Amino acid sequence: MGRKRGRDHVFVETDGQVYLVRDRGTLRFPRADEKLPFPTESAGVMDFGADRVLRYKPRLDHHPEEWWGRDAIFERSDVDPLVKRAIYTTMIRCVSEVILSKGLRVLMVKSVRGFSKGYWNVPGGFMDYGESPEVGVEREAEEEIGVDIVLDGLLNVYVSGFPGKPAYTLGFVYKGHLVSEAFRLKPDEIEDAAWFTVDKALTLTRNPFAKWALVDFFLQSDEARAALKVKRHSSDPHATGPDQPTVFLDRDGVINRGRAGYVRTPDQFRFLPGAIDGMRLLQDHGWQLVIVTNQDAAGWKLLTEAQLAKVHDRMLAMLHKEGVRVAEVYYCPHNVLSDCACRKPRPGMLLAAARDLGVRPRGAWMVGDKPLDVQTGRAFGCRTAWVGPKAWRKRFAAEVRPWSPDVVADSLLDGARAIVRYGEDPVVDAARKSRTDPTITS
């Protein structure tokens, strides 16, 4: 039985002023079937169970001072609760966190409550009213681990939305170090504290700010960048700039057919139907292509790295003939028992692309046919597409569910079409345009 649907309500706002109508002594949103006295354009949908709130931006030639200021609405007792709930949902939240480092390792804390319950996170949390980000992160971190910290500077500021809701959180993330490691963990909030390399830390947290900050920390650390050893097959290098939109592609099962006993010779390499067209479609829409592949056959010594290079040479030559360029091929030559940074679901190959090609998580997608591919993309902090025949996806549906792929498709070509429709992260896209388009200001 479907969910009973209530009315659709219209939330119109501009410059902090909200358009409301008075109905028998109550200020409420207009209904969707009520005519508005001005033209509008759609700005999203908010789902509140039985009721939907449709957000609209008005097209006006004046500032509507006669409307209701969003801050004043909370002080009134004659406002419909749905109005207050919708406005509260759209208010930006502020958190302040810190990457505390010791050589190649960063400190992570395991939470026992809240959004990160059962997961690891970097120290920090929500800022109190009136706090600066620096004061907030020092207070939060010291409350959590029970020792003093020293901030070494701002790492970056991030904005993240919530799926299905026009709500955002602003995150300030700092770099810092500890005065002491005599931790006194806050018992009702933190279960454990431990040091991890960046590639491992990325697999442990579900916090997007922590993921993006860990990547930025890695990129700013000469020591961490130099320590990451990832094999690559230099392909068809072409001019790339920082932050270029990138699609990471798994190889076997996405680009080419897998086979029993692995693809071990060039003549065993066969493109899947539509794979080249999908890669070309992404390239034509401005996406840089990077291949990231676990090569178990090399790990089990079923083929040498020299033989693997010949397979990749054939693949790249065929793609070049079709006008498709690959910025780089990264591969993991280690077996499944290895504790290396590069074997998916560790994101070492994606970190290498961030270091070598200027790839950033918010401007990237990971496309793969296995749950571990989706897990790898999530670890890096980018969006993900899970592709493969329906029977294959049904077999692994339960395994992939915790990683919630953004796109599910039957093939690379179908996945590419969805990525092109999806586009880039809107925040990243706006930031990029603001650097190149003088008509866009922040």
| Residues labelled as active-site residues | 250, 252
Is the separation of the CB atoms in 29 and 9 below 8 Å? yes
> What residues does 28 pair with on adjacent strands?
21
**Tokens at residue 248, please?**
């990471």
Gap between the terminal Cα atoms of the chain:
46
Of 221, 135, 203, 158, which Cα lies nearest the Cα of 342? 203
Angle formed by the axes of helices 275-284 and 305-321, nearest 10°: 70
**Tokens at residue 244, please?**
């270029």
The alpha carbon of residue 419 and the mean position of all alpha carbons in its chain are separated, in whole angstroms, by: 14
Largest CA distance in the chain: 80
Strands 328-332 and 231-233: antiparallel
b/e code 263-297 from CB counts within 10 Å (16+ = b) = bbebeebebbebbbbbbbbbbeeebbbbbbbbbbb
